[in-house]
Structure 1
Amino acid sequence: MDAAERARLVTRYTEEAVTRDEIESILADRDEPHVYIGYAPTGEMHIGHFTTMRKLADFLAAGLEVTVLIADLHAHLDDEKSPFELLDARSRYYEEAIRGMIAAAGADPSAIEFVRGTDYQLDEPYTLELYRLIADTTISRAQRAGSEVVRASENPKLGGLVYTLMQALDVSALGADIAYGGIDQRGIYMLARETLDEKPACVFAPLLSGLTGGKMSASEASSKVNLTDSAEVIAEKIEGAYCPQGEVEDNGVLEYLEYLVFPVFAEQDEPLVVERPEEYGGDLTYETYDHLEADYVAGELHPADLKPAAAAAISDVVAPVRDRLTGQPQLLAEAYPETYDA
C-alpha cells in the first residue's frame, strides 16, 4: 500500500486533516508512524464516541501504531467531572468499552496500546516540561485553546488550564507523529503545534448532531444513543429524532449512518436495506451513504421509512459493545454507582 492510499485511509470520514501533505510525508518516510487519541474517563461512552473510535480501524489498516490514552488525571482536572475515588473504575470501563468498539468496527483491539495518564504524567521528565509550558503560556492563550473542551465559567479553575497544557504535552510525551481527536480538540492541538519542538500532524473527527437537533448533549438522554441502550430504546430514540424530510443539516440520524453504520457495514460487505411496502415502491438497498443521502434530499426516501431501518442498523452495530458491557454489571456499577446497581 503506497503513501497516498494510506493517507486516504487515515483521513477518510474526518472533518479536517492538518495537513494532508504532512500526513502523506510521514507515511512515506516511516513504515509505522504513531497516532494517538486521548479520552478523559468521565461520563458513560455513547455513539458519538463510537464514531470517533471506529476511525482507529482505519489507522490500523494503514499500518500505524495506535495508542489510546485513558486520561485519568484530565477527568478530574476538568471541573472534577470524575472524583478521584472513581478514576480507576471509570478508566477500566473506558478501556473495556473502547476495546468493544474497536472489535465491533472489525479491527483487533489487541493491536492497540492503552496507557493511563498516571502511568507517566506524575514522573519528573513530564512535570518539568509541564512547568515549562506553564511558564511560557499566557492564561488567555490556554483558555482560547481549551475553550471547546474544558468546562467554561466566568471564574475558571486552574485545572482546566492545566488540562489544556497537559493534553498538548501528551503528544510529545507519547511520541505521536499524528494527534487524533474530535474537531473540538483543534485549539489544543494547534497549541501543541506552536509549542512543541516536533509539531504533530492532526486528524479531526466531526462532532455529531444530537437526535433532538443541534449539538449532541451528554446530559440529555434523548439526544444520543448510549452503548448500553437496548434495541427497543434505540428504536424509540430514533423514532422521536429530529429528521425533517429532505434536510441534512443537524440531522443526527443521517450522521450516525454516514460516520458509523456505513463504514462498519462496508467492512462487513453488507448494504443497508430500507424496507417499504410494495405500494410505496418496495424495499430500497443502499451500498453507499451518498446514494442514501441523495434519495433523502430528493424525496425518494421518507423519514418514516428511514428511521426504522436506521434504528435497526444502529442497534446491529452497537449490539456487540452493548453485550460486552452489560455482561459485566460489576464494571458498570463500580464506574457509575449512581446509575447501575452492583
Structure 2
Amino acid sequence: MDINELLTRGVAEVIVESELRQRLASGESLRLKQGFDPTKPDMHIGHAVGLRKLRKFQEAGHQVVLIVGDWTAQIGDPSGRDETRPRLDAATVRANAEIFMQQFFRVVDRDRTEVRWQSEWFGEFKLEQALDLAGRFTLAQMLAHETFRRRYDEGAKLTILELMYPMLQGYDSVAIKSDVEFGGTDQKFNNLAGRELMGQLGMRPQHVLLVPLIPGTDGRKMGKTFNNTVDITLSPTDMLGKVMSMSDEVLPLYFEVLTDVPLPELAEIRAGLADGTVKPRDLKMRLAREVVGQFHSPADAVAAEEAFVRQFVQRELPADIPEHALAAPAGIIDLMVAAGLAASKSEARRLIAGGGVRVDGERVEGFELTLSPGANVVIQVGRRQFRRVV
C-alpha cells in the first residue's frame, strides 16, 4: 500500500502527518478508532468516504475499532447544531446501532473490526471519574468549539451536559488505546479532545485523520438535515438516478473519495473537465456505475444504467409502473395526492405550475384537468415518479 496515497487521497487533514507516516513505514499494526452516533440509523455515501479510507488501512494490515456511541447518543453530538438535541432512550439507540452496523459492514471488513460499546466503560463510571474528566478541560477550551461559541454568544441554551460530549468522546480513545481517530472535518474538535486527554494521562496521543464532507444533491453539505443524501440502502435504480442528478462540479471530488480510479487517471479527469475535452454526463454515468456497484453489484449497476437510459435518454417509460385505481372522475390535483405523487394539494399545484407534471407525455398546463375511470394514462411527476391510472 502506498503510504502517500493512504494519507493524501480523500484526506482533508492529518494530525500529525509526519509522525503517522513514520509509524506506518515501521510496519506497526495500528488501532484505528471510528465512533458513530446512532441517533439516526441510515447511512449515506458521505459516511462512506471515511469508511472507504478505513478499509484501505485494514488492507494495509491495521485494526479498526468501531465504537458505538450508546452513551453520547443520549446526549447528542453538538457538531454543527444550533440547538440542544433531544435525548434518546437506550432501547432506541441500540436498535439504531444494529441497523447502522449492517450498513457499516457493507464497506468495512467485519473480520478486521473490533466492535465496542461505550457502556462497557461508562456504565460503571463513578462520579469522581466524571469530575476528574471535567477538571481536565477549561471553559475556554470548550468555547473554542465554533458551535458552542455561537450558541453562547447568542444566549441560546447550552447545557453542561453538552459541554461534556467532547470529553466523553475523548475518553473513548483512552478506553480503547486508540492510535488514529477517523472523522469528518466537522469532528476535528472532538477528535483533538481525545488527543489532548491521552497526552494528559501519559499515553501516546492518538493521531487524527479527517476526511472531507461531500456536497449533496442540492450542493450543500450532504446530510439528513437538508434531505439531500444518497442513502446506501436505496435501490440500484434510485441510487444511480440520485448520482446522475448531481451537479458537474462534484465529479472530481466524488471520483477521488468514492472510487479507486488510479491517481494518473484522476488527474486526466480533472484536466479533461477543465478544458472541456470530456463530457461531464459520460463521467457522471461512470461514477454512478461505480457507486452502485460498491453497494449492490456490478450487474445491478449495469441494469440500473440501462433503465436510466431507457427512461431519460430514449424517453421510454419504466417497465414496472405502479398502478392507481380510479373509481370515479377526479381532478388532477386530487388524483396526484391520492396516488402519492404529491404530499398535499398545495404541493400538487406547485408541481403543475412549475411544469413538472405530464400525462401521457404531455405537460399539464392548468389545474382543471379531470380524469375518468378507464382513462388508462400515465401520470409523470419530475423525472422518476410515475403512476398508471387504471
Task: Give the TM-score of the pair, scaled to structure 1.
Answer: 0.73
| Match in the other structure for 1:231 | 236
Q: 1:160 to 1:30 in 2, by over 3 A?
A: farther
Which amino acid in the other structure matches residue 234 of structure 1? M
1:75 Cα shift? 1.5
When Rg is computed on C-alpha atoms for both structures, the one with the higher figure is: 2
Task: Give the TM-score of the pair, scaled to structure 2.
Answer: 0.65
- The CA distance in 2 between the partners of 1:61 and 1:95, in whole Å, is 20
Give the counterpart of 1:214 among 213, 220, 223.
220
| Match in the other structure for 2:276 | 299
Aligned: 1:32 with 2:19: no
Unaligned regions of 5+ residues in structure 2, if any? 77-84, 301-390
Q: 1:176 to 1:39 in 2, by over 3 A?
A: same
- The root-mean-square deviation of aligned C-alpha atoms, in Å, is 2.9
| Alpha carbons 1:32, 1:65 under 8 Å: kept | yes
- The CA distance in 1 between the partners of 2:87 and 2:255, in whole Å, is 30
| Alpha carbons 2:183, 2:191 under 8 Å: kept | no
| Alpha carbons 1:181, 1:204 under 8 Å: kept | yes
Q: 1:312 to 1:61 in 2, by over 3 A?
A: closer
| Greater percentage in helix | 1
- The CA distance in 1 between the partners of 2:24 and 2:129, in whole Å, is 28
Residues 34-93 of structure 1: CA deviation (Å, up to 9, x unaligned) = 221111112211101111111112211222222011111122211236443311111111
Which amino acid in the other structure matches residue 208 of structure 1? I
- The CA distance in 2 between the partners of 1:232 and 1:213, in whole Å, is 21
The equivalences for 1:241-280 within 5 A come to 241-243=246-248, 248=249, 251=250, 253-261=251-259, 263=260
- The CA distance in 2 between the partners of 1:36 and 1:202, in whole Å, is 9
Secondary structure in 2 aligned to 1:13?
Answer: coil
Aligned length: 282
- The CA distance in 2 between the partners of 1:309 and 1:84, in whole Å, is 42
- The CA distance in 2 between the partners of 1:315 and 1:85, in whole Å, is 32
- The CA distance in 2 between the partners of 1:257 and 1:166, in whole Å, is 35
Residues 190-246 of structure 1: CA deviation (Å, up to 9, x unaligned) = 23333333321111111111221132232333x221011122222332333222xxx
1:31 Cα shift? 2.5
Q: 1:316 to 1:130 in 2, by over 3 A?
A: same
The equivalences for 1:144-159 within 5 A come to 144-145=144-145, 147=147, 154-159=156-161
Q: 1:42 to 1:143 in 2, by over 3 A?
A: farther
Residues 299-329 of structure 1: CA deviation (Å, up to 9, x unaligned) = 1123333333322222112216xx9xxxxxx
| Match in the other structure for 2:95 | 89
| Alpha carbons 1:10, 1:59 under 8 Å: kept | no
Which amino acid in the other structure matches residue 170 of structure 1? D
Give the counterpart of 1:189 among 191, 194, 211.
191
Give the counterpart of 2:170 among 163, 168, 171.
168
| Alpha carbons 1:130, 1:169 under 8 Å: kept | no
| Match in the other structure for 1:310 | 287
| Alpha carbons 1:52, 1:182 under 8 Å: kept | yes
Q: 1:54 to 1:288 in 2, by over 3 A?
A: same
Which amino acid in the other structure matches residue 236 of structure 2? A
